[in-house]
Chains A and B, each alone.
Chain A
Amino acid sequence: MTALTSAAPQPDAAPRPARTLRRAGTGRLAAALLSPTLLVLGLVAAYPVLAAFRLSFQVSSESIDPQTGFKVTTTSYGLDNYAAVFTGERFLRPWWNTTSFALVSVAIEVLIGVAMALVMHRAFRGRGLVRAAILVPWAIPTAISGLLWKWIFNSQGVANELLGAKVLWSSEGFQAWLSVVIADTWKTAPFIGLLVLAGLQIIPGELYEAARVDGASPWRAFWRITLPLVRPALVVAVLFRLLDVLRMFDLPYVLVGPRKHSVETLSMIAFQEMTNLRFGTAAAYATVLFLYIAAVSFAFVKLFGADLIGRGTGRPE
């Protein structure tokens, strides 16, 4: 942010004609270069969000026209769709699932990811291969890894064999929730590890040298040097992961299945409503999820100072 303000064009104290002309040309060039991106994002991101908002207030009711005997659909605007979202016996369940998945998975992923990064930090032979291995879970499509974990968690599958137990993972209950957390952690903890590793590698070694000379224990060096310096990278990674899990759909949908209350997320319910052609309710769910995610990102940026934009505008020093 600060880098940007200093980089922004200063109002010329003594305007020179040639320079102003160049500026105007630059402005036009920037507009021309950016307009395709803005157009596309307007069409596929901004418009749908607004359309979903509008749609969420739309209530259609079907009735029979007494004169013609045909079915007529009348559309009015109201809060009925939101009433459907916030009432009912189990209306808190998808909120709880969505939130608990986000909090628990991301917390475990950060712990495992940081541990992985610390292990990989020092140079060693075969580093390239290890890095490739770490990218494998990330590269496997989520839908496919959902199937893979469904197979692993099959009642006769390898998970039960290793545990020596007969757990019915895919039936309703805590174990279904846990299987989703495990599969999600497997996929993304290595990814967080990579991001943290990249953050570790820009910490100058002299800092640790100085800490050791001053008699600091490795543990203290970790808390006082490593963590504070990795924090900016970690905060951004955690924010993106949180948002990713809050909108999770494929993994529980494929791994456990649709209409399973123990794992049903807000995205899944919205999808369910949509496939049943209840677009108004689907849009209401989609809109509350959108607002929820927006609120979480806003709170996160305020609390932890995740400097998202600074990453884009900051000049390389």
Chain B
Amino acid sequence: MSTTTPAEAGVHGAADPVRAARRRRWSGSALARRAGIGVIVLYCLAPFFWMVVSSLRRPTDQFSNAPLPAPISFDNYAAAFDARNGFARALANSLVVAGTTTVITLIVAISAGYALARLQFRGKTLILTLVIAASMFPPITLVVPLLELFTDAGWINTYQAMIVPSMSFALPLAVWNLTAFFRQMPAELEKAAQVDGCTPAQAFRKVVLPLAAPGVFTTAILVFICAWNEFLIAVSVVNDRGMMTANVIVSLFTGQYKYDQPFGTQMAAGVVVTLPLVLAVLFFQRRIVDGLTAGGLK
């Protein structure tokens, strides 16, 4: 990015002397800023770029540090999906766990967020404090007793053992975002609906909820990303390879010999695990940023 900038400025300058003069006055700081933006993009993307590049090398070229793979090979991807690894199954497990967590969390959080944003009642501060405090709990404090509980309940190696504890961080996040979102919606909406004869519940279901779809969608993306990234719970409550999530199984990939770590294969699997998230980020970046900054600055 920073390399193309001076050339561009030169072309414009030659065409338009007035703009050229203006540009010259600005060029110092503008150039510095463009260079700064180039550095930021490089900083953020270089490691990810390296993951993609390493995944596209031939396994025999694994230790090559050339900036581009030559020749390009998809052997690492084939190796990642090798039946021995159980990676495809793990991806499906991740999808089930993250998807179910997202759906249940949203159902529970929508009603709470609406109540916290709209209704006036006693103890609201207390409930908000509890919700935010719950989001600060270290996962390990929750996992230790839950593992004992799940062992007694026969929940080891089940989806619910991963989904239920995931809600401890997903739910506060969702309640928080949805509360901020519902608060932004004009209160006149429900008032008008109630004047027209709706009960509060009907006003919520028929007027508010359809209009809240964008906020719900944003929250869904954030919760899904968080649930998809979860590691500690998944690694604690599951020891059967068939039930492991993608994050866990990729970290357990083994090479031909026990102690040689198959980095190429792991990078390929890492790209596969990350790709849906990177695409989501590309398409929904505005929503995600809005969601992440919701409530904090309004």
Are B292 and A147 in contact, CB atoms less than 8 angstroms apart?
no
Smallest CB gap from B283: residue in A: A132
Extra inter-chain contacts (9) besides given A47-B145, A250-B231, CB under 8 Å? A9-B121, A34-B112, A141-B229, A151-B54, A233-B297, A249-B140, A270-B141, A297-B136, A315-B183
Q: Could you jot down 11 A-B contacts, CB within 8 Å?
A: A41-B131, A116-B40, A136-B44, A139-B281, A145-B47, A148-B48, A148-B270, A194-B289, A202-B297, A294-B136, A312-B132
Q: Looking across the interface, which residue of chain A has its beta carbon closest to that of B51?
A: A148
On B, residues with C-beta under 8 Å from A are 33-34, 36-37, 40-41, 43-45, 47-48, 50-51, 54, 63, 65, 107-109, 111-112, 114-116, 119-122, 124-125, 127-132, 134, 136-149, 164-165, 167-168, 171-172, 175-176, 179-180, 183-184, 200-201, 225, 228-229, 231-232, 236, 247-248, 250-251, 261, 263, 266-267, 270, 273-274, 277-278, 280-282, 285-286, 288-289, 292-293, 295-298
Interface hit among A99-107, A118-126, A173-181, A219-227: A118-126
Bound-state CA distance A150–B253 (Å) is 14
Q: Assess the A142–B229 pair: CB atoms within 8 A.
A: yes
Q: Are A141 and B231 also in contact (CB < 8 A) when A30-B115, A130-B41 are?
A: yes
Flag the segment in A48-56, A67-75, A84-92 that touches B: A48-56
Measured between C-beta atoms, what is the minimum distance from A14 to chain B in Å?
Answer: 18
What 8 A-B pairs come out closest when comparing CB atoms?
A: A51-B145, A247-B138, A33-B115, A37-B112, A119-B36, A198-B293, A141-B229, A33-B111
* Given A45-B137, A316-B184, residue A158 in contact with residue B273 (CB < 8 A): no
Q: Which residues of chain A are near B293, meaning CB under 8 Å?
A: 194-195, 198, 233
In the complex, the chain B residue whose C-beta lies closest to that of A195 is B293
Residues of A within 8 A of B (CB): 1, 4, 7-9, 25-27, 29-34, 36-38, 40-41, 43-49, 51-52, 55, 115-116, 119-120, 122, 124, 128, 130-137, 139-152, 154, 156-158, 161, 186, 190-191, 193-195, 198-199, 202, 232-233, 236-237, 243, 246-247, 249-250, 254, 266-267, 270-271, 274-275, 279, 282-283, 285-287, 289-290, 293-294, 297, 308-309, 311-316
Question: Who on chain B is nearest to A270 by CB?
Answer: B140
Most chain A C-beta atoms within 10 Å of own C-beta, residue among B41, B145, B183, B225: B145
CA distance A160 to B130 in the complex (A): 47
Task: Determine the residue in chain A with the shortest Cβ distance to B163.
Answer: A44
Instruction: Please tell me which one of the listed residues B114, B132, B180, B263 contacts residue A308 in the complex, with CB atoms under 8 A apart.
Output: B132
- Label chain A's interface by main secondary structure: helix
Nearest chain A CB to B243 CB, angstrom units: 16
* Contact B142 A130, beta carbon cutoff 8 Å: no
A130 to B: closest C-beta gap in Å: 6
Query: Which of B129, B141, B200, B266 contacts A48 (CB under 8 A)?
Result: B141
Chain A residues, Cβ within 8 Å of B41: 130, 133
Report the Cα distance A228→B52, complex, angstroms. 41
Are B292's CB and A195's CB within 8 A? yes
Contacts A144-B270, A149-B47, A247-B138 hold; do A30 and B231 have CB atoms under 8 A apart?
no
- Interface residue from A9, A29, A297 paired with B115 (Cβ < 8 Å): A29
> Do B285 and A135 touch (CB < 8 A)?
yes
Q: Which residues of the partner chain A approach B274 to less than 8 Å between Cβ atoms?
A: 139-141, 144
In the complex, which residues of chain A have a beta carbon less than 8 angstroms from the beta carbon of B37? 119-120, 124, 130
